Structure 1
Amino acid sequence: MIDHLQKIIQQRGPIQTIGVIGMGYVGIPAALLFAHVPSVKMVYGLQRNSLSSGYKISMLNAGELPLKGEEPNLPGLLKEVIALKKFRCTDDFSIIRSCDAVTIAIQTPFLNPLDLIPDFSALEEGIRQVGRYLTKGILIVLESTITPGTTIGIARKILEEKSGLVAGKDFALAHAPERVMVGRLIQNIQEHDRIVGGIDEISTSRACELYSMVLTKGKVIQMTATAAEVTKTAENTLRDLQIAAANQLALYCEAMGVNFYDVRAGVDSLKGDGITRAILWPGAGVGGHCLTKDTYHLERGVQASGIEPLDFPSGTDSLFVTARKINDFMPDHMFHLLKDGLKRIHKEIRGSRVALLGWAFLANTDDARNSPSELFYKRCLEVGAEVRVHDPWVKGTLISSSLEEVLTGADAVVIFTGHREYLSLNSQEIRKVMKKECPIIIDGRNIVDPDQYINLGFIYKGIGRGDKNNHQVITCPLQ
């Protein structure tokens, strides 16, 4: 006997019209890739016409990409699907009535991570909009990173209340979390395996049909909706943990006067069957929308949707929350390195001029969401320092595009982002522009040669560079 939902889906036929809600780093590349599939007739990018993001509608329809930074193949793909008249961006959510499938990619931050209450207001409004225009046989997929239990819980509840339809009977519902990194969006969607979890087998199968259309090297991995939610939050939590391990080891190396990068190479050299000792890189802080919050979604999931009580040492932070605290601490550590560097020339932070290089959290992009640079910037201002910011990718009232302007007269230069423009910094030119007898450089990404700067009279401090952070000061008069 054919299931009621399966019968409705068979009557609909293959997925040909798709709606993608949320025109950001996730939604735009997904929509364009769907539109590029020959069997797909039309893809609608659904975007609220708000003051903060409404501009994306006209830009996308004109073939202009609102995302900055380098995104290989994305600009050309946009122009191609626009020319083919297979993609259109709109704020008219009633177009959902004509769609066979709708994906939702809306950010899910925490207003205060410590209380483990996620801010689902934007996501819930997006789900309500979908619910108002649901038709029988449609597939709804949540791509946002969400607290485990959300798909079968609040998302299902809202969709059913707004539509009067029943999930699993009248429409399919699934979770297929995005797995993309800014700077390689198209490649990630096509080549990464896709986690797909429906609320039932039919929903899972229909979602697999949708994502199989855009996969090249990647394959579909099927599981339940809640397992898919745990998978996404866990993979980001584990990466955050790996970064925290590198950061803590770097702090240990600084305290013991050794070079973290020598230690890392030594540990990584141990290879063989069943041996895994790979270490990530330490840095000035972890930013972005995902790693800074997904630990808390996982923690919240255990509390909100756990089937049994969690058996864990009483009064102890989880390993994952501890890792999050370590990574959140790194901008403070950069501040401490700056303070120590200034102390070596008998100068206080108050009244000092600081050149902050890099506002984006990720190299060679304009993505400044939850940037660790901002935390450092605010800390410096609180103690009376003058901070000038440079970033070749990010635009803003606080940010200068002129490196020389930011460096001129600065007491210290602090590198927060590993942009390619900073890889070729000229130590002699920097010293001339700073016009200081003992200028200071704080390297948060290990991108400069310490000896080159030390030999020119700089005070050098770097994350993980215990071998250099207390170097002998070399007097080198300005020319």
Structure 2
Amino acid sequence: MNNSNKLESILRERGPIKKIGVIGMGYVGIPAAALFADSDKFDHVLGFQRASSSSGYKINMLNRGESPLKGEEPGLEELLAKVVKAGKFECTSDFSKIAELDAVTLAIQTPFADSKALEPDFGALKDGIRNVGKYLQPGMLVVLESTITPRTTDTMAREILEQESGLVAGEDFALAHAPERVMVGRLLRNIQEHDRIVGGIDGPSTQRAVELYTPVLTKGKVISMTATAAEVTKTAENTFRDLQIAAANQLALYCEAMGINVYDVRAGIDSLKGEGITRAILWPGAGVGGHCLTKDTYHLERGVKLGTEQLDYPADAESIYVLARRVNDFMPVHMFNLTGAALGRVNGKIEGSKIAMLGWAFINDSDDARNPPSEPYRDMAIEAGADVMVHDPHVLQYPDVEIHKDIGKVLKGADAVVIFTGHKEYFGLSPESIRELTGRDNPVIIDGRNVINPDMFIDAGFVYKGIGRGDKNQHPIKKQ
């Protein structure tokens, strides 16, 4: 009996997937676990979370049917309450319960320790895989949902699981990669409606993973491929999005230099539609944040280094993907430069000024503050001698940064107001109330997300600068 036939036989004997474990109770693991638990195809779902000082609080919250994720996540709190009340979901720190399961997924962050050296920090992921390996039983399915360097599933993950369990992947247990494809603010909908990429290390592993994910899909369908192809798909789709954002950001910088409005240009480009025409263009902004886009390019680049063939590419040419990362990383620097230039128009400077930062999260109406572009801006401003206060209605806390909920307190006495996040609360900002709170005749406002109407603020005496607003950034200052 060959390996595939042996695994098929073991899976057949085990029967359908009924009990599932999800390791990593974060933005990916929590909604996934809730949806698995809500399916009538599965009997029980365990969410695994370390009882650590930083995130152990999630265990009790989840077991009460409460979501530890803040910001707007339609339907998540209600679904958690439902599956907990039904007895179909619970969260635990007891990893030995893995032995009771039919399938385990891992949704653990995979940052980079050193992006220039292409060295990922797989420490947390390795710990998670080891925990699975210790309790792995014949016929179980293990799925990596974390975004990883191509070839990780069939090399590092396989090796750790086999070493810890004494079992053989593709012979005694199934192993696959099924990358998450979610965005905060729409987690449940994304899991149900987006197509699911599923890649096993062999045919039986792929089919077992398809069996796991099919019941939670509504509009989405499963797209099967190899594990390595699935890994490349995930890293590449995020890399392409980062590239598209960089293209919009570079265009915004060009439009500023040429004195025109990038949003007019964008609308013009986007208007060209028809058969065979693709002119999709994303939006410029104050920078790219989050866990995925800020590092997935480096996973893809590292995958090429680990490839089996020599890369054929223009000699001495920088990767366009890495260059895109540099452009997007530059946008907080550009926001800093705009702030300094605007203050200079009223004989001010960053040193000694009070800056009110509006928004810390990297995405609107969310508490997701992983790798936010607001952080390097704040660091630069403080290093330049500014007094910086941060407001965010959703982010409760952030290491070494005080996040205020009282926007009036943040705005009071500010020399410059800098909008970093497009939270809905900021779209209704009144120039009159801000001007009164700042107490400045000509307060500075920097819009990094196209949130405010520049003419309203310019007419009220503000010194305005915005990303891509070359048509407004040198406006005459109205004396009040």
Shorter-chain TM-score bucket reads over 0.9
Q: Which residue is 2:437 aligned to?
A: 433
CA distance in structure 1 between the aligned counterparts of 2:192 and 2:26, rounded to whole angstroms: 17
Q: Which residue is 2:37 aligned to?
A: 35
Q: Which residue is 2:354 aligned to?
A: 353
User: 5 Å matches for 1:272-421?
Assistant: 272-304=274-306, 306-396=307-397, 398-421=402-425
Offset, 1:315: 2.2
Offset, 1:48: 1.1
Offset, 1:314: 2.3
Offset, 1:412: 0.7
Q: Which residue is 1:456 aligned to?
A: 460
Q: Are 1:250 and 2:252 an aligned pair?
A: yes
CA distance in structure 1 between the aligned counterparts of 2:268 and 2:220, rounded to whole angstroms: 33
Offset, 1:194: 0.1
Q: Are 1:206 and 2:212 an aligned pair?
A: no
Instruction: Tell me the amino acid that sits aligned with residue 456 of structure 1.
Output: A
CA distance in structure 2 between the aligned counterparts of 1:128 and 1:389, rounded to whole angstroms: 40
Offset, 1:402: 0.6
Cα deviation per residue 1:278-334 (whole Å; 9 max; x = unaligned)? 211000000000000000000000002x11111112222100000000000000000
Instruction: Tell me the amino acid that sits aligned with residue 368 of structure 2.
Output: D
User: 5 Å matches for 1:168-179?
Assistant: 168-179=170-181
Q: TM-score, normalised by structure 2?
A: 0.98
CA distance in structure 2 between the aligned counterparts of 1:278 and 1:248, rounded to whole angstroms: 15
Q: 1:444 aligns with which of 448, 458, 471?
A: 448
Instruction: Tell me the amino acid that sits aligned with residue 443 of structure 2.
Output: P
Q: Which residue is 1:47 aligned to?
A: 49
Q: Are 1:424 and 2:431 an aligned pair?
A: no
In structure 1, the gaps of 5 or more residues are none
Instruction: Tell me the amino acid that sits aligned with residue 343 of structure 1.
Output: G
CA distance in structure 1 between the aligned counterparts of 2:367 and 2:273, rounded to whole angstroms: 37
Offset, 1:115: 1.0
In structure 2, the gaps of 5 or more residues are none
Stretch of structure 1 that moved more, 76-85 or 271-280: 271-280
Instruction: Tell me the amino acid that sits aligned with residue 48 of structure 1.
Output: R
Stretch of structure 1 that moved more, 105-114 or 241-250: 105-114
Q: Secondary structure at the match of 1:261?
A: helix
CA distance in structure 2 between the aligned counterparts of 1:73 and 1:395, rounded to whole angstroms: 21
Offset, 1:20: 0.5
Offset, 1:112: 1.8
User: 5 Å matches for 1:152-167?
Assistant: 152-167=154-169
CA distance in structure 2 between the aligned counterparts of 1:175 and 1:31, rounded to whole angstroms: 17
Q: Secondary structure at the match of 1:324?
A: helix
Q: Which residue is 2:147 aligned to?
A: 145
Offset, 1:264: 0.8
Q: Secondary structure at the match of 2:116?
A: helix
Stretch of structure 1 that moved more, 370-379 or 2-11: 2-11
Q: Which residue is 1:111 aligned to?
A: 113
Q: Which residue is 1:21 aligned to?
A: 23
CA distance in structure 1 between the aligned counterparts of 2:268 and 2:290, rounded to whole angstroms: 30
CA distance in structure 2 between the aligned counterparts of 1:328 and 1:60, rounded to whole angstroms: 35
CA distance in structure 1 between the aligned counterparts of 2:273 and 2:102, rounded to whole angstroms: 49
Instruction: Tell me the amino acid that sits aligned with residue 348 of structure 1.
Output: K
Q: Which residue is 2:242 aligned to?
A: 240
Cα deviation per residue 1:335-389 (whole Å; 9 max; x = unaligned)? 0000000110111110011000000001000110001001100000001001111
CA distance in structure 1 between the aligned counterparts of 2:395 and 2:170, rounded to whole angstroms: 44
Instruction: Tell me the amino acid that sits aligned with residue 238 of structure 1.
Output: F
CA distance in structure 1 between the aligned counterparts of 2:324 and 2:402, rounded to whole angstroms: 30
Count how many residue pairs are aligned between Structure 1 and Structure 2. 475
Offset, 1:54: 1.1
CA distance in structure 2 between the aligned counterparts of 1:399 and 1:5, rounded to whole angstroms: 52
Q: Secondary structure at the match of 1:147?
A: coil
Q: 2:475 aligns with which of 467, 471, 478?
A: 471
**Greater than 2 Å deviation, 4+ residue runs:** none
CA distance in structure 1 between the aligned counterparts of 2:281 and 2:348, rounded to whole angstroms: 36
Stretch of structure 1 that moved more, 106-115 or 412-421: 106-115
Q: Secondary structure at the match of 2:136?
A: coil
Instruction: Tell me the amino acid that sits aligned with residue 341 of structure 1.
Output: A
Offset, 1:58: 1.2
CA distance in structure 1 between the aligned counterparts of 2:413 and 2:104, rounded to whole angstroms: 54
Q: Secondary structure at the match of 2:255?
A: helix
Q: TM-score, normalised by structure 1?
A: 0.98
CA distance in structure 1 between the aligned counterparts of 2:164 and 2:280, rounded to whole angstroms: 49
CA distance in structure 1 between the aligned counterparts of 2:207 and 2:263, rounded to whole angstroms: 47
